[in-house]
């Protein structure tokens, strides 16, 4: 749904503008000390972290991810049309 602009089975369930705003980096190395020393692209939006993941061929892929407790996370790779979810437990 998020990678499809808020549409599920041909029906819009989330406003496209909200998704655009949600995946905007509002905090990043250019405007807050929290990200000092991080890559310029690294940042944070509406409850989503943004980073680049480098694959074995050295290509960087943008990823938005939500990070939970106990290795629970959701990663969205828009340019790869890929979603990775983990419900692992590390307690």
Averaged pLDDT for residues 11-28: 87
- Residue 51, pLDDT > 90, answer no
For residues 80 and 91, what is the distance between their CA atoms, to the nearest angstrom?
A: 32
Could you tell me which residues are beta bridge partners of residue 28?
43
Reference 4, options 84, 83, 63, 62; nearest CA is 83
Q: Beta 72-77 vs 82-87: how paired, if at all?
A: antiparallel
19 in Cβ contact with 7 (< 8 Å): no
Average pLDDT of every residue of the chain: 85
Predicted pLDDT at 42:
77
Helix (H) or strand (E) holding 63: strand 60-67
């Amino acid at each position: 749904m998020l990678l499809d602009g808020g549409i599920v089975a041909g029906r819009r369930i989330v406003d496209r503008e909200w998704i655009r705003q949600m995946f905007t980096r509002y905090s990043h190395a250019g405007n807050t000390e929290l990200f000092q020393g991080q890559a310029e692209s690294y940042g944070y939006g509406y409850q989503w972290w943004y980073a680049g993941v480098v694959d074995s061929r050295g290509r960087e892929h943008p990823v938005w991810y939500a990070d939970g407790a106990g290795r629970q996370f959701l990663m969205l790779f828009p340019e790869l049309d890929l979603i990775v979810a983990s419900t692992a437990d590390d307690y």
